[in-house]
Amino acid sequence: MKKYFVFIMVMALFLISGCQKEQQVDQGEKIETKTVKVYKGEVNEPINLVPTTKPYISLTFNGMGDEQFTTQLLEGLAQQKIKATFFLPAMRVAENPEIAKKIQDAGHEIESNLLNDIDYEQLSYTALYKEVSLANQVFEEHLGITPQFVRTRSGEVNKDLLKIVAQLNMKRAVEAFINPLDRNMQGAEEIANYVNKYVTRGSVIMLNNGINPAVIEAIPLIADNAKQYQYEFVTIEQLNQELGEIINPNDIESYNDIKVNANYENVTPRIFTTADVEQKEIALTFDDWASEHTIINILDILDKYQIKSTFFLIGKGVEQNPALAKLIVERGHEVASHSYYHKNVTTMTTQEVQEDVVKAHKAITNAIQQKPKLYFRPAEGIMTNEIAKMIIATGYEVVALYDIASFDWNPELTTNEIVERVMTRAKPGSVVVMHIMDNRKTAEALPIIIEKLTAEGYDFKKMSDWIESEVQ
């Protein structure tokens, strides 16, 4: 054991000493000199927020504490029935393999936190390669496992590390979507409140093992919040499996069909506001973007009343959490564009309008992994005939407006005032606009509106039910 430890220490000193210039190499070439050639093949993107519609979150730990700290941490996880992923520094595993085995025996996933607890950004490609490869040897020697994932002390990833992961046939580097910086010695409530504020499905939460005792006390607080929103704790390996079905956006129908087109003058715009129907039909539509809890709440209400709707999503928000857009589609609703930046289109140039439309389309299409409805709804419902031409010229089919503004975006309105605005204006063929926005009264008003409209004999339609029937 001591000889092995000395060997590791010598190799660690070598890594820090600097290396010769790197050259190009294909995956799988053996390293026979001190210089490691730079990998030039394809790499996988790191994991931080996985776009899964399943309510999965991953609790992970960096570092390895002493036996007392680790024992208490494992007991806390066991009480909450959480299986976590531990990123261990290989040097600590070599020094105290019994602690690492205790984590392993408790059924948690163990992955690599590199060889040493150092600032990896200061390492050359060769030195970083050996940090990762020597760490893997330590894990194999002491724990009988080959790490498939690697994370740095800071949770940050550079291009060199992504190349090395691929070069060593590992699966992915792992970042942190939620990092409460518990090294700063916050209390348990502060740590848990930070995690609970930002957690969403697919999140990777990064805490530290062995630094701040409050981390152990924060675990039940994090677990209670997860139970409230029905999140399931999974390992990084389980999260990684959710990435297997992602389609390259260029292979999705219509992804590249929406384009900037300055020749719009002779385009005939199609603007849809209401449906010309005699029967009592009405469409509830939803604009904007929000946190997962708000969106899920709205979806649950619609599910309860078996209503399918049209959602006009802001591209920038969708890009930050694409799984939620995909979830809306999985729940049976249709998705269309509410622009990327949500700016007043009348203040934008032709180029700006069209580039915004294209960017939003790509973000939404990539998120839902299929062709969205090619309907565009402008911010605040502001539109001119000239701008409608610009939008249709990009390849969009319809500028989709509405005749009933619920004003649910206004926090000063009461629930009853929102309901009253809709009910006094409702008529066959009406399109109601509501909003998925945090800290609004939409979720309180929506069930009342649905029940009142149902009592008056209305059936609920998606916008495509009317728009596509007009074409036929």
pLDDT tens across 434-443, in order? 999 999 999 9
Report whether pLDDT(75) > 70.
yes
What is the domain partition of the chain in residue ranges?
Answer: 37-244, 250-463
pLDDT digits (tens, 9 = 90+) for 223-267: 999 999 999 999 999 999 999 878 889 999 899 999 999 999 999
Task: Place 461 in a pLDDT band, splitting at 50, 70 and 90.
Answer: very high
Beta-ladder partners of 232: 56
Could you tell me the two tokens for 429?
A: 């063929």
- What's the whole-number mean pLDDT along residues 383-409? 96
Q: What mean pLDDT is predicted for residues 21-45?
A: 65
Which range has the worst mean pLDDT, 210-214, 449-453, 460-464, 467-471?
467-471
pLDDT of 281 reads 98
In this predicted structure, the answer to whether residue 49 has a pLDDT above a threshold of 60 is yes
Higher pLDDT, 378 or 13: 378
Structure confidence at residue 15 (pLDDT): 44
What does R_g of the chain's alpha carbons equal in angstroms? Answer: 27
Angle at which helix 2-16 crosses helix 125-143, to 10 degrees, equals: 160
Q: What is the pLDDT of residue 157?
A: 93
Tell me the mean pLDDT in the region 355-377.
97
In tens, the pLDDT along 140-175 reads: 999 999 999 999 998 999 999 999 999 999 999 999
Q: What is the pLDDT of residue 12?
A: 47
Domain 250-463 in the same topology as domain 37-244: yes
Of residues 237, 227, 221, the one with CA closest to residue 148: 237
Q: Are 283 and 469 in contact (CB under 8 A)?
A: no
pLDDT at 471: 54
List 335's β-bridge partners, or say none. 311
Q: What homologous superfamily is domain 250-463 in, according to CATH?
A: Glycoside hydrolase/deacetylase (3.20.20.370)
Question: Does residue 36 have a pLDDT over 80?
Answer: yes
Least confident of 74-88, 99-113, 289-303, 458-472: 458-472
- Rounded to an integer, the average pLDDT of 189-214 is 96
Residue closest to 380 by CA, chosen among 352, 358, 348:
348
Q: Flag whether pLDDT at 380 surpasses 50.
A: yes
pLDDT at 204 (0 to 100): 97
Is CATH 3.50.50.60 the right assignment for the domain spanning 37-244? no
pLDDT above 70 (res 14): no
Q: What pLDDT score does 9 carry? A: 47
Mean pLDDT of 386-404: 97
Non-local CB neighbours of 339 within 8 Å, separated by 6+ positions: 314, 315, 345, 356, 357, 360, 376, 378, 379
pLDDT at residue 26, as a whole number? 42
pLDDT value for 245: 72
What is the per-residue pLDDT for 450?
98
pLDDT of 20 above 70:
no
| Percentage of the chain modeled with pLDDT above 90 | 87
